[in-house]
Amino acid sequence: MGQRVGRNSFQLRLPRLLKRNVYLEQSVTFKKVLLVCAVLSISPKAFSWGKTGHRIVAEIAQRNLNTDAQKGVKDLLGVEDLSRVATFSDEIRSNKAFDYTAPWHYASIPTGKTYFDQKRSKDGDVIEGLFRMEETLRDPKKSKEDKAFALKFMVHMMGDLHQPLHVGIAEDRGGNTVRLRWFKGETNLHAIWDESIVDFEQLSYTEYSTYLNHFTSDEKKDYSKGTFLDWAKESQDLRGLVYDTGGSENLTYEYHFRMKPTMELRLRQAGIRLASLLNSIFKNEKLPKEYEALRQKVKDNI
């Protein structure tokens, strides 16, 4: 009788036990999902300079626009200025409709090779994209909407072009797979250059822009020479310096001290070159035939 009661009691409790087990299983699974999401949320993304760096480039450019460019930017952006739209190209990547723009943030060039040593992806890259955005902005037949889109991308992509690891090597995804620590925090080389060495200064983008926005007339003239390909080559040539961690996997003050001058130079160059480019575009300056030929060569290589 007692055994029968015990058996019946167990049978009565069985659905509740099963339900409890299912709940525990779901709870454990849910926790695993949360853990995975947490890990993914801190995974490095292939963005360049972070918000601060991009806004520094844009703010320096804004402060060096001529009258024609100031009017042209205002006509396209309204109340927004260049610094306000500097991160637009990263922000829209949360919308899958803009997935096609992802390759426009970088170009992969093997060590010892040139841009034309390999056929480029049909999806484009930061170099081809900049030539295309410039062409759109110079085309009187393009709509105001198309030109505003091109301007927003050009502002961002000029920053990308000057971050050395955005003209990187495909094997490590521009330093994304080079695992390191920054003051003991887990990260990678790409993320360190995207944000860490800029944000380490603890300056707002306007403060940093004021600090960096000083150019002699010779510097303005010298920095503004060349093309997107020349400036990409500069980034490519800096990769050896960027990868030199001194054999340490935990980067701290020493690495920052060595890289800071280069980081600041690239931000300054990107800013003044963007200004020079927009000054030329909105002044409707005619392009040399050799420049147009180069642009066509880049287009044909895609």
Domains of the chain: which residue ranges?
Answer: 1-43, 50-300
Strand duo 179-182 + 185-188: pairing: antiparallel
| pLDDT tens figures, 75-102 | 999 999 999 999 999 999 899 999 999 9
| pLDDT tens figures, 186-235 | 999 999 999 999 999 999 999 999 999 999 999 999 999 999 999 999 99
| Residue 286 Ramachandran class (φ > 0 left, ψ -120 to 50 alpha, else beta) | beta
Nearest residue to 245 (alpha-carbon basis) of 184, 181, 202, 196: 181
Q: CA 104 to CA 62: how far, in whole Å?
A: 23
Q: CA 17 to CA 138: how far, in whole Å?
A: 72
b (16+ CB within 10 A) / e for 10-49: eeeeeeeeeeeeeeeeeeeeeeeeeeeeeeeeeebebbbb
Question: How many CA atoms lie within 13 Å of 216's alpha carbon, on the beta-carbon side?
Answer: 3
pLDDT of residue 92: 94
Evaluate if residue 20 carries a pLDDT over 50: no
The pTM score is 0.84
CATH superfamily of this structure's domain 50-300: P1 Nuclease (1.10.575.10)
pLDDT band at residue 121 under the 50/70/90 scheme: confident
Evaluate if residue 9 carries a pLDDT over 60: no
How much of the chain, in percent, has pLDDT values that exceed 70? 84
